Amino acid sequence: MRIAVIGAGYVGLVSGACFSDFGFEVVIVDKDKSRIARLEAGKIPIYEPGLEDLVARNRDAGRLSFTASLPAAMKRADAVFIAVGTPTRRGDGFADLTYVYAAADEIARCLAGPCVVVCKSTVPIGTNREVLRRIKAIRPDAAVDVASNPEFLREGSAIEDFKRPDRVVVGAESEQARAVMQSLYRPLSLNETPILFTGLETAELIKYAANAFLATKITFINEVADLCERVGANVQEVARGIGLDRRIGPKFLHAGPGYGGSCFPKDTLALVSTARSAGAPIRIVEAVVDVNEARKRAMAERVLAALDGDLSGKTVAVLGLTFKPNTDDMREAPSLVIVPALQAAGARIRAHDPEGMAEAAKLLDDVEWCDGPYHAAEGSDAIVVITEWDAYRALDVVRLKRLMKGDAFFDLRNIYKTAEMADRGFRHFGIGIGQPGIAEKVAEPLKSVAV
């Protein structure tokens, strides 16, 4: 089997490299010639653990190559994957399908033999059918089928997620498309990965529903965390207590500064827009979008409140800028809201991120970039940990405290324990960690019950 992949981004690169690792012949094409030149020189344009070795191994074996020419990539291809971006369209929240449709039109012009066009990009309901219509309009003679094959990998663990997914979803409506997709995913049968064959619309909606559900789960625990703080409960214990119920499950219950990234924010918005225009609004997701936006701003307000409502002349050390660890992706990272809000309140920012500083420097102004967490802490009034990189999980907090001017530690990922930090001279502010017995106001209505 020979595969062409359009788009050498997070999804295209990882999928293409993994398919080649399974033994297929893969050509990845990108219109960005400099990206292709870098890949041909052995340089990976994104930070994703394990990807550099995976790409090198398969290039050396002659199964994986890169090109800027779609006709060359599509020569003798049994399947062509579209893995281009589907960002939020300005103004209405819908997904912008410019890149997907451009890729479809280019494919139509390059089709030589029978081929299945597989949409791996996250696309709204109806897109795959439109892709087929466009291709047929340009090439009525073409022996072409479409398949919707949404991708569920997470950045930072993308290779493992691709090779060992919980399931593969394939929307396909012809025997040929189903047969090609079955062959492409046969390597996963060793792990007994379920392959769910559905219609096109269903596959498209599964992707949005999955992301919206996970975003809802995170937002739910984030609001429970706020309540924990008010009533003296501990959100980590609440999460464990509910997560052990197998109907709920323990994952995606880590309270934090709000979800970010290239998928949840844009896909929840797109689902909200689609559902509204279909006359079936999903109000719970609308609330999730609003609550998550407000939460990022609220993180900066916490810092402001703990530092007496005034950050002018104060220095804040920010640790972790990417939307999650093990990626250099800054798309919709909470830091992009928190840092400017701290600056607007007068703070000077010293920041560090293990892999994201080059990308972050393009998006954040007036930040002093530091060599590491200890460098960032020098002379600071407060430390704010936004992203839970491994490098911040066992900090020498005594050393940090000595380097700082102040004593406030905002731990937006609950890495450290408040009592232990207090022993080392810190005022530690976690997320959703209330002090038992503080719930005077909560008890008030109960007191009025006559005995």
Question: Which residues lie near ligand NAD (CB under 6 A)?
Answer: 6-12, 29-32, 35, 83-86, 99, 102-103, 106, 121-122, 151, 153, 155, 262-263
- Supply 171's token pair: 């929307």
Rounded to whole angstroms, how far apart are CA atoms 139 and 105? 10
Q: Three-state DSSP class for 88?
A: strand
Among residues 233, 262, 258, 238, the alpha carbon closest in space to that of 248 is found at: 238
Q: Is 290 annotated as a binding residue?
A: no
* Binding partner at 253 among ligand NAD, ligand UDX, none, C-beta below 5 to 8 Å by kind: ligand UDX
Judged by CB, which is closer to ligand UDX: 19, or 426?
19
Q: Can you tell me which of 78, 145, 155, 355 binds ligand UDX, judged by CB under 6 A?
A: 155
Length of the chain in terms of residues written: 451
- Confirm or deny that 331 is annotated as ligand binding: yes
Among 95, 123, 263, 376, binds ligand UDX (CB under 6 A): 263
Report the residue from 124, 260, 320, 432 that binds ligand UDX according to the rule CB under 6 A: 260
Q: Does 264 bind ligand UDX (CB under 6 A)?
A: yes
Give the count of alpha carbons within 13 A of 258, CB side only: 22
155 is in an annotated binding site: yes
160 annotated as belonging to a binding site for a ligand: no
Nearest in space to 291 (alpha carbons), one of 208, 215, 211, 384? 215
Q: Which of 386, 382, 369 is nearest to 428 (CA)?
A: 382
Q: Tell me the sheet residues that pair with 144.
A: 115
| Torsion sign across C-alpha atoms 45, 49, 51, 57 | positive
**From ligand UDX, ligand NAD, none, interface partner of 11 (C-beta below 5 to 8 A by class):** ligand NAD
Per CB under 6 A, does 429 bind ligand UDX? Answer: no
Query: What SS3 state is found at 84?
Result: coil
Residue (32 or 301) nearer to ligand NAD, CB? 32
Query: What residue 345 binds from ligand UDX, ligand NAD, none (CB within 5 to 8 A, per partner kind)?
Result: none
Q: Work out whether the CA dihedral 383, 386, 390, 391 comes out positive or negative.
A: negative
Select the residue whose beta carbon is closest to ligand NAD and give its number.
9
The two structure tokens encoding residue 273: 């827009």
**Partner whose footprint covers residue 264, from ligand UDX, ligand NAD, none (CB < 5 to 8 Å by kind):** ligand UDX
Q: How many CA atoms lie within 13 A of 172 on its CB side?
A: 24
300 token code pair: 């900066």
Which residue type does 40 have? E
**152 makes contact with ligand UDX (CB under 6 A):** yes
Q: What's the one-letter identity of residue 114?
A: P
45 binds ligand UDX (CB under 6 A): no
Residue 202's nearest CA partner among 252, 287, 129 is 129
When CB distances are held under 5 to 8 angstroms depending on the partner's kind, the choice from ligand NAD, ligand UDX, none that residue 10 binds is: ligand NAD
* Binding-site partner at residue 32 among ligand NAD, ligand UDX, none, CB < 5 to 8 Å by type: ligand NAD
Sheet holding 408-411, edge to edge: 367-369, 348-352, 315-319, 382-385, 408-411, 427-429
* Given 252, 374, 378, 427, the residue binding ligand UDX (CB under 6 A): 252
341/166 Cα distance (integer angstroms)? 39
x/- mask, ligand UDX, residues 79-108, rule CB under 6 A, reads: ------------------------------
Q: Which is nearer to ligand NAD, 116 or 228 (CB)?
A: 116
- Nearest CB to ligand NAD, comparing residues 177 and 214: 214
Pair type for strands 168-172 and 144-148:
antiparallel
Residue 321 φ then ψ, to 5°:
-115, -30
Contact 218, 252 (CB under 8 A): yes
Residue list 324-343, contact with ligand UDX (CB under 6 A)? 324
Residue 375, binding choice from ligand NAD, ligand UDX, none, Cβ under 5 to 8 Å by partner class: none
Q: Taking CB under 6 A as the rule, does residue 12 contact ligand UDX?
A: no
Nearer to ligand NAD among residue 8 and residue 238 (C-beta): 8
Residue 375: half-sphere exposure toward Cβ, Cα within 13 Å: 9
Query: Active-site residue 263, yes or no?
Result: yes
Closer residue to ligand UDX in complex, CB, 256/373: 256
Q: Which amino acid is at 146?
A: V
Separation of alpha carbons 8 and 43, rounded Å:
12
User: Measured from the CB atom, is 110 or 433 closer to ligand NAD?
Assistant: 110
Contact status: 404 vs ligand UDX (CB under 6 A):
no
Strand pairing class (115-119; 144-148): parallel
| Partner interacting with residue 16 (select from ligand NAD, ligand UDX, none; CB below 5-8 Å by kind) | none
User: What is the number of helices (H) and of strands (E) in the chain?
Assistant: 18, 14
Residue numbers annotated as active site? 263
The annotated binding site for substrate is made up of 152-155, 207, 252-256, 260, 324
The annotated binding site for NAD(+) is made up of 30, 35, 86, 122, 155, 266, 331
Which residues here bind ligand UDX, judged by CB under 6 A? Answer: 151-155, 211, 214, 218, 252-254, 256, 259-261, 263-264, 323-324
The annotated binding site is made up of 30, 35, 86, 122, 152-155, 207, 252-256, 260, 266, 324, 331
